[in-house]
A and B are shown apart, each in its own frame.
Chain A
Amino acid sequence: MIDYTYTILIPLIPLLMFIFLGLTGHKFKAPTQGILGTLGLLASTLLSYYTAYQYFFNSIKVDGAYQKIIGFHTLWLQFTDTLYIDLGVMLDPISVMMLIVITTVSLMVHLYSIGYMKGDKGFSHFFAFLSLFSFSMLGLVIATNIFQMYIFWELVGVSSYLLIGFYYEKQSAVAAAKKAFIVTRFADLGFLIGILILSFNTGTFDFQLLTNPHGAAILKGGSIAFMGLSTMTWAMILIFMGGAGKSAMFPLHIWLPDAMEGPTPVSALIHAATMVVAGVYLVARLFPVFAISAPSGLEVVAWVGGFTSLFAAVIACTQIDIKRVLAFSTMSQIGYMMLALGVSGYGGEHGLGYMASMFHLFTHAFFKALLFLGAGAIIHAVHSNNMTDMGGLRKHLPITHITFLVACLAIAGIPPFSGFFSKDEILVAAFESNKALFLIEYLVAGLTAFYMFRLYYNIFWGKQTVYHATPHEAPATMTLPLIFLAIASATTGFIPFSKFVTSDGLPFETVTEWGIAIPSVLIALVGIAIATVLYYKPTEIPSKMAHALGGFYKSAYHKFYFDELYQFVTHKIIFRYISTPIAWFDRHIIDATMNGIANVTNRVSNAIKGFQSGQLQKYAYVFVSGVVVLAIIFIYLLKY
């Protein structure tokens, strides 16, 4: 038996670094805080790799399946034998995989930020917040029970708020941070209700008990029906609502484009690789419950994922801000992951979708982080976010150019880069279960290739812009992460993922289905070709096409007016008809009661303060009258 107690250090080191940097960071000169933060993350990364090595290669397997191992736990609150909340570390194929992803990407972002945030006056607390975020996310993935996951879920939300609103003097950044926090918090309402229903029906919070396919918990609550769906289905749909909020699924997606107001390393870490996949991770973690007790919930997951990926891809084709394009691209790719989970079965070969989703999560983290960090380097060089200000940068930023190209090829799904393998598995899983969803995903694959290469050509080829200051390549601290992530994007496709991460722990063999793979590569090449024709050299075709599509193009550019719709609903309807009367009630009735009590007390006190008037004769009068009254009482009424 291997002792995994050291795994508690993996989240704890960033936490300690957060406390240390938060309290004393300003005393050091930059870039010491950055180096300290990076060293902390490096320690966590090495520990995660070691844990992964131990877990995947040396741990004991039962019937050939990977087991859930509790590395460390302490009991916090106990309600009954099965209903308890504890804090601990659970090692499981997906949690170990996530440990690797989070620590690696976070380490790259830390290293990158030393160069990117140089000179910023918030340098030290940026690293503190990054460490806090790393701690929260790590705690989330190793959670042993659903309540611990919820606690870290909220912590992740808080860290995200702090990091998006990092440039707190900018009005738009503050508004974006608030929006992100409020939307995810609203989604967490559903999550909490789902947790309560789930734990009430099954009697436990613990993941091992909940997700045991042969256990008692998973079968409870399947029969009671409420509005046509069983309670378990409702619970899982509500829990999915929480996941959808965090992962920016439609209709809770509105916060993700605005969250690009944060610094670019933040976008890379949080909104590409880690926080937004928390929803996918949640569904994966509870996958046995979904698959066995609430299959209709899985349908909801699949359709939401599918619709979001199409929706986001269409909008991404029209955006001009490069970070917004990447944000919508993230939304679309996460749609892929959700869809893959939704169409998956449970156990062995049926769990292909599950495996594909996790594989795509793994590869997507690397190439999306690479895309964002590359975008950061470009913004750093050009000092603008808009595609229209860029063009012909390939001569000025060679390393960024090559790594960005690698990432674009990976996301488009061109072999031998990693995106091809993971996306191919998803398409196979979708084809096997739901042809309609398969077609949607097939179309989205083409759109993905198209808008990514539109982005690429507009930045690095296109028109020859004359720049005010010659853009220079980023410093080494920024390019090293880019190179590392590019290597990862190129090579991780070859990892035999199905041997490690599957729905029930049993490894299985996957075979490349050429019947699906070749058409997917073809449509990606078609997308790239169209993009090349339109954008390789500056032409009139894009603007003519925009005019031709007219209203549709305009509404796609404005993200289909969902922000305005939500704004309308909240301001005109909720605020006016619900909040205002309640505020009136609070101010005029509750406050008035309190004030009234104070006023009455005041007046009574004013009235009786005459008793201490200092007037001697009044005192004597009260004295004499009192004696007379007492005499009457005692002599005539009580008859002493």
Chain B
Amino acid sequence: MVLTGNQFMFFLFAAIIVLFSILTVTSRRILRAATYLLFVLISTSGLYFMLNYQFLAAIQLTLYAGGIVVLIIFSILLTSHINQKFEPVDWKKKVSAAIAVIAGAIVCLTAILQFSFHANQAIAKEINMDVIGNSLLNYGENGYALPFEVISVLLLAVMIGAIVIAKKKKE
């Protein structure tokens, strides 16, 4: 069958996401798992680009792929042997987790797919930096000033917390 460009890109990204996320959770070497995670995140960002949310995609790449994965790799380096292979997990755990997960997936999918969502034909509002900046600090209609402030407090708390927890205790 003939795929349009969009469809092809979508299926590519989708395949990468699913395949690499499965590999992340089943890989036996930790650094490979981190790398697979990186690929998943990049593909997700690709999906955002397809949906015309450029800012969000950029943030995804910067923060997730560039920040969090790097942080994870640093912590891997700090805490374990890189070349150490994981032991295989007890098969009872795997089977029981798989059953729970597959059951959950089936329930979710049947619940979602019974609705026929139609794309709304309304005119899409363009999101550019102007709009984002205004909305983030707007305290009136369509304004996200409150979550913004809350996030800033949260980031402060997390910074302090991370420093305190990870600090070496004086002897």
Contacts and interface: CB of A to CB of B under 8 A. Distances in A.
Interface of A: 617, 621, 624-625, 627-628, 631-632, 635
Given A628-B104, A631-B111, 10 more contacts: A617-B93, A621-B97, A621-B100, A625-B100, A628-B100, A631-B104, A631-B108, A632-B103, A632-B107, A635-B111
21 contacts: A617-B93, A621-B96, A621-B97, A621-B100, A624-B100, A624-B101, A624-B104, A625-B100, A627-B104, A628-B100, A628-B103, A628-B104, A628-B107, A631-B104, A631-B107, A631-B108, A631-B111, A632-B103, A632-B107, A635-B107, A635-B111
A415 B68 CA distance: 126
Q: Which of A621, A624, A628, A631 has the most CB of B within 10 A?
A: A628
Q: Which of B93, B96, B100, B111 has the most CB of A within 10 A?
A: B100
Contacts of B104: 624, 627-628, 631
A632 B102 CA distance: 13
Contacts of A635: 107, 111
Which range holds the interface residue count of chain B?
A: 10 to 19
A617 B89 CA distance: 13
Interface in B97-118: 97, 100-101, 103-104, 107-108, 111
Contacts of A628: 100, 103-104, 107
Contacts of B93: 617
A632 B101 CA distance: 13
The binding surface of chain A is classed by DSSP as: helix
Interface of B: 93, 96-97, 100-101, 103-104, 107-108, 111
Nearest to A635: B111
Contacts of A621: 96-97, 100
A283 to B, nearest CB: 84
B98 to A, nearest CB: 11
Contacts of B103: 628, 632
Nearest to B101: A624
B106 to A, nearest CB: 9
Nearest to A618: B93
B68 to A, nearest CB: 21
B151 to A, nearest CB: 27
Nearest to B108: A631
Nearest to A617: B93
A391 to B, nearest CB: 98
B123 to A, nearest CB: 35
A70 B130 CA distance: 112
Contacts of B96: 621
B108 to A, nearest CB: 8
B16 to A, nearest CB: 26
Contacts of A617: 93
A628 B102 CA distance: 10
Contacts of A624: 100-101, 104
A625 B102 CA distance: 11
A98 to B, nearest CB: 87
Nearest to B114: A635
Nearest to B104: A628
A445 to B, nearest CB: 99
A631 B104 CA distance: 9
A635 B107 CA distance: 9
A424 B65 CA distance: 128
A372 to B, nearest CB: 87
A621 B92 CA distance: 12
Contacts of B107: 628, 631-632, 635
A30 B71 CA distance: 93
Contacts of B100: 621, 624-625, 628
A619 to B, nearest CB: 13
A617 B103 CA distance: 18
A628 B97 CA distance: 12
A635 B108 CA distance: 10
B147 to A, nearest CB: 27
Nearest to A623: B100
Contacts of B111: 631, 635
B20 to A, nearest CB: 22
Nearest to A625: B100
Contacts of A625: 100
A125 B96 CA distance: 76
Nearest to A628: B104
Nearest to B105: A628
Contacts of B108: 631
A208 B93 CA distance: 87
A628 B108 CA distance: 9
Nearest to A632: B107
A356 B107 CA distance: 105
B96 to A, nearest CB: 7
Q: Which of B93, B107, B111 has the most CB of A within 10 A?
A: B107
B17 to A, nearest CB: 21
Contacts of A632: 103, 107
A356 B2 CA distance: 136
A624 B103 CA distance: 10
B26 to A, nearest CB: 15
A617 B97 CA distance: 10
Nearest to B100: A625
Nearest to B96: A621
A617 B96 CA distance: 12
A627 B107 CA distance: 11
A21 B139 CA distance: 91
Nearest to B89: A617
7 cross-chain pairs, A with B, having the tightest CB-CB distances, nearest first: A628-B104, A625-B100, A631-B107, A628-B103, A624-B100, A632-B107, A628-B107
B39 to A, nearest CB: 25
A617 B25 CA distance: 14
A624 B99 CA distance: 11
A631 to B, nearest CB: 5
A631 B93 CA distance: 22
B37 to A, nearest CB: 19
A632 B100 CA distance: 12
